[in-house]
Amino acid sequence: MKISFISLFPEMFNGFINSSIIKRSVKNNIVEFEIINFRDFSKDKHHKVDDYQYGGGSGMVLMLQPIVDCINSIKTENSLVILMTPKGKVYNQRIAEEISKNYNHLIIISGHYEGFDERIKNYIDIEISIGDYILTGGELPSMIIADSIIRLMDGVISKDSLISESFNDYLLDYPVYTKPFDFNGHKVPDVLLSGNHKEIQSYRLNERIKITKLNRPDLYKKYIKFKKGE
């Protein structure tokens, strides 16, 4: 897979690409990155990319010409063009899985200021938000999207690990423990040392249900429907 990050601050992606599992994925030729500053496509003599908004209002708006020319310079028939914006569809694991299975080139656009001219919708495929809060720019959300998709690709993480993760059946993950057994009086649940795999599985499922019901009642409702086959 190839991932193209489009941003006004390309240096923000260096740590992401050169660390941990992502770095190993690049080394193993599973994923390829390119980082493009769309300011380089501005036809303004000062490389200006923003201007005041029509109708008045605070904040500057990113102009279409630089970003559209940038998109067109790298887009192919199998590219998915993603715009990171608080106005977008809220991202989840299902979207990550769908994208990882159906595309081999992602173009992920990071916005700034008051965002892009609304007409950018004519040049993108999907608007994505990572939650109900505002950040200073789209770079961090862009990296979150990329990370969640890359880890689903063959050869990045073991399939057993992926199967047991949160959200696969609308439940959050179960608690995990390691040594020591007793830390300042806080002990590992006895069932995990019992060697009874059936009881351990039952304990973990019950914990997943309890945690999901407490922290994510929205997911718990989906889990109930999932269990009923709705």
Residue list, annotated binding site? 111, 130-135
How far apart, in whole angstroms, are the C-alpha atoms of residue 223 and residue 230?
Answer: 10
Are the C-beta atoms of residues 83 and 64 closer than 8 Å to each other?
no
Residues in binding site for S-adenosyl-L-methionine = 111, 130-135
Distance of CA 176 to the CA centre of its chain: 24
Specify the amino acid at residue 229.
G
User: Per-residue DSSP letters for 49-72?
Assistant: -EEEPTT--SSEEE-HHHHHHHHH
How far apart, in whole angstroms, are the C-alpha atoms of residue 69 and residue 184?
Answer: 60
